Chains A and B, each alone.
Chain A
Amino acid sequence: MILVTIKVNKFKCGYCGACVGVCPAGALELVETWIEVDDNCTSCGICAKICPLGAIEVSR
Chain B
Amino acid sequence: MKDYYDVVVVGAGPAGSITAKTAAEKGLSVLLIEKRQEIGDPVRCAEGVSKVWLRKHINPESRWICADVKGSRIFSPDGTMIEMAEEVAGGEVGYVLERKLFDRVLAYESAKAGAQVFVKTRATGLIIEDDFVKGVRLMHWGQEYDVRCKIVIGADGIESKVGRWAGIDTSLKPVNIETCAQFLMSGTGIDQDYCYFYLGNEMAPSGYVWIFPKGGGLANVGIGILGSKSGKKTAFEYLNDFVADKYPDARILEVDVGGVPVSGSIERTTANGLMLVGDAARQSDPITGGGIINAMEAGRIAGEVACNAISEDDVSVERLNEYEEKWRSTIGLEIDNSLVVKNVFINFTDKELDGLAHSLQDVNFSSMSLLDLLYALFKANKKLLWDLRGLFRNVVKNELDFDH
> What residue of chain A has the Cβ atom nearest to residue B171's Cβ?
A24
Chain B min CB distance to A15 (Å) = 7
Given contacts A18-B259, A21-B159, contact A49 B174 (CB under 8 A): yes
What 1/0 flags go to A18-58 for Cβ under 8 Å of B?
A: 10111110101111100000000000001011111110000
Q: Is there an interface contact between A32 and B35, defined as CB atoms closer than 8 Å?
A: yes
Name the distance in Å between B177's Cβ and chain A's nearest Cβ.
6
Shortest Cβ distance from B126 into chain A, in angstroms? Answer: 13
Bound CA span A11–B361, Å: 47
| Chain A interface size, under 10 / 10 to 19 / 20 to 34 / 35 or more | 20 to 34
Contacts of A49 in B (CB 8 A): 174, 227, 230-231
- Candidates A26, A29, A31, A50; contact of B179 at CB < 8 Å: A50
Chain B nearest CB from A28 CB (Å) reads: 8
Q: Are A17 and B157 in contact (CB under 8 A)?
A: yes
Contact A52 B173 (CB under 8 A): no
Total A-B pairs, Cβ < 8 A: 94
Q: Is the CB of A22 within 8 A of B161?
A: no
Identify which of residues 246-281 in chain B touch chain A, using a CB-to-CB cut-off of 8 Å.
255-259, 261
| Closest CB in chain B relative to A59 CB, distance in Å | 16
Q: A20-B158, A26-B161 are in contact. Are A31 and B122 (CB under 8 A)?
A: yes
Specify which of A16, A21, A31, A46 lies most central, judged by the most chain B CB atoms within 10 Å of its CB.
Answer: A21
> Which residues of chain B are near A53, meaning CB under 8 Å?
181, 234-236, 257
Task: Choose one: A48, A50, A54; the contact of B177 (CB below 8 Å).
Answer: A50
Contact of A51 among B37, B120, B234 (CB under 8 A): B234
From residue B192, how far is it (CB to closest CB) to chain A in Å? 26
Complex Cα–Cα for A2 and B170 (A):
29
Expressed in whole angstroms, the Cα–Cα distance for A38 and B404 within the complex equals 59
Given the contacts A50-B230, A52-B235, A22 and B173 also touching, CB distance less than 8 Å: yes
Q: For B177, what are the chain A residues with a Cβ–Cβ distance below 8 Å?
A: 18, 21-22, 50
A–B pairs, 23, beta carbons within 8 Å = A14-B255, A16-B257, A17-B158, A17-B259, A20-B159, A20-B161, A21-B158, A21-B160, A21-B171, A21-B261, A22-B171, A23-B171, A26-B161, A26-B171, A30-B159, A32-B120, A48-B231, A52-B235, A52-B236, A52-B258, A53-B181, A53-B235, A53-B257
